[in-house]
Structure formats: structure tokens, C-alpha cells
Amino acid sequence: MRFQDLLAYKKGFDLAMNIFETTKGFPKEEMYSLTDQIRRSSRSVTITISEAYRKREYPKHFHSKLTDADSENSETQGWLEYALACGYLTEDKYSEFINLSIEVGKLINYMILNPEKFGVKKE
């Protein structure tokens, strides 16, 4: 299996791309702060999942990378909250993004709790 086939990766990628498209409409003065930060954290979720999958030969690295991915996902939720508070997102768009982010978090947690299902060898 390729890391691109992981459900957490697919859903995280979709979220990051939706955030990218939506942030194109954010004010220009946010380009180097909120826009940049939310794009970076949302993209980092999938990149870190891919790194974890490549590190599955090493259970502690797999776990560590996945907890990093979960942290990036939480950071994205924080930036989404700022975007809502600043009026850059509608309540509906915010809810859509948050719900997808929560789903990604659950998938990451499933990977953490069931590493053997992803090819991680028992220690």
C-alpha cells in the first residue's frame, strides 16, 4: 500500500486543498500570518502522516510522527477558529472544515492505537 492510499492521508489532503482554495479569498494583509499559517499546518498533517508510514519499521518513530500529525491537525483547528472570529469564514464553512479535521484526527488516532494494521512490527 502507498501512503496516498491511507484514509487519513486522503481526507487530510482534501481538507488542506479546501483550505487552500478558501484562503485565496482572505485579505492580503493576512498573507504572511493567518493565511500562511493555516495552509502550512493543514498541509503538514498529510506530510507527517506520509513520514509516519515510511517509518513503520520503527514503532516508536511511527507513533511519534503520528502524534506530530495530530498536533498539526489541532493547530489547523486553532487557525480555523481565528479565521471564523475574524469573519473570513462563514459558520457553515467553519463547521465543514472542523468536522473534517475532527474526522482526520480520529483516523490518526486509529492508526496510533492499531499500528499493526499499518505494517508496524511488534516490539
- Radius of gyration of the chain measured on its C-alpha atoms: 15
For residue 123, being part of any structural domain is answered with no
- The number of folded domains in the chain is 1
Q: How far apart are CA 72 and CA 103, in angstroms?
A: 14
Phi–psi pair at 81, nearest 5 degrees: -65, -40
If phi over 0 gives left and psi between -120 and 50 gives alpha, with beta otherwise, what is residue 122? Answer: beta
Q: What pLDDT, on the 0 to 100 scale, is given for residue 96?
A: 98
Q: What is the extent of the structural domain holding 105?
A: 3-118
Q: What is the CATH number of the domain that holds 90?
A: 1.20.1440.60
Nearest Cα to 63, choosing from 17, 113, 2, 20?
113
For residue 20, being part of any structural domain is answered with yes
Cell numbers describing residue 60: 516508536
For residue 92, being part of any structural domain is answered with yes
Q: What pLDDT, on the 0 to 100 scale, is given for residue 123?
A: 66
For residue 58, being part of any structural domain is answered with yes
Q: How far apart are CA 74 and CA 117, in angstroms?
A: 24
Q: How far apart are CA 24 and CA 33, in angstroms?
A: 13
For residue 67, being part of any structural domain is answered with yes
Tens digit of pLDDT at every position of the chain (123 positions):
899 999 999 999 999 999 999 999 999 999 999 999 999 999 999 999 999 999 999 999 999 999 999 999 999 999 999 999 999 999 999 999 999 999 999 999 999 999 999 999 876
